Chains A and B, each alone.
Chain A
Amino acid sequence: AQSVTQPDIHITVSEGASLELRCNYSYGATPYLFWYVQSPGQGLQLLLKYFSGDTLVQGIKGFEAEFKRSQSSFNLRKPSVHWSDAAEYFCAVLQTGANNLFFGTGTRLTVIP
């Protein structure tokens, strides 16, 4: 069965520090991969996506993610976190040709001054 694992439920970082949020998926082939961000009381905003090609993808708000096929991972990174980055982050996977986005359970990011 397909699954998406975000092992960190909650992460706290200091403003200006670097950030890495982990995502692992279980699927037989390379799916489409996404990261979404959700601010409190808001909908989900697409940060970035990976379909094929260059395994390091750039997104909005200074985020990037790296696809590692050997590790079935798609970790999200940002070199310097801003207080406005505090939110919940979701990794999602879409099987090629399918309609069902499978989401991880999310990682809540707290940024301290």
Chain B
Amino acid sequence: DAGITQSPRHKVTETGTPVTLRCHQTENHRYMYWYRQDPGHGLRLIHYSYGVKDTDKGEVSDGYSVSRSKTEDFLLTLESATSSQTSVYFCAIREGGSGPEQFFGPGTRLTVL
């Protein structure tokens, strides 16, 4: 158990509304990631963080922003949600010095109507 929680676990929202998803970890890992999972695409990296206030873009970052003001929290924001952002969102952590493997949270299912 990598000590990762995501909130909310399910959300339904309307097109054009802002949405923030939260990832919380309990073990002070340096690296945190946001992925989205869509049928036929596997998981794709949206943004990642390598420390407090240090973030970078991933493969599918358009329409998303992130913030990390504390080690334990990594927030993903959809400024103006669109139907194409309907997906399952996974947060992951990497333990830093011990190896490159990533461990995943339980996911958030987001539906944009």
Report A's interface with B, CB cutoff 8 A.
4, 32, 34, 36, 42-46, 49, 51, 90, 92, 94, 99-101, 103-106
- Choice from B31, B41, B106 contacting A99 with Cβ under 8 Å: B31
Check if B41 sits within 8 Å of A43, measured CB to CB: no
Check if B100 sits within 8 Å of A90, measured CB to CB: no
Check if B106 sits within 8 Å of A43, measured CB to CB: yes
Check if A100 sits within 8 Å of B90, measured CB to CB: no
Chain A nearest CB, measured from B91 CB (Å): 9
Check if A44 sits within 8 Å of B104, measured CB to CB: yes
Q: Count the A-B residue pairs with Cβ separation under 8 angstroms: how many?
A: 53
- Choice from B40, B45, B99 contacting A101 with Cβ under 8 Å: B45
Would A106 and B33 be within 8 Å (CB), given that A43-B106, A43-B107, A44-B104 are in contact?
Answer: no
Would A51 and B59 be within 8 Å (CB), given that A90-B43, A99-B48, A105-B42 are in contact?
Answer: no
Report B's interface with A, CB cutoff 8 A.
31, 33, 35, 40-45, 48, 50, 56, 58-59, 90, 92, 94, 99-107
Check if A105 sits within 8 Å of B40, measured CB to CB: yes
Check if B101 sits within 8 Å of A34, measured CB to CB: yes
Check if B42 sits within 8 Å of A104, measured CB to CB: yes
The docked-state distance in angstroms from the alpha carbon of A106 to that of B40 is 8
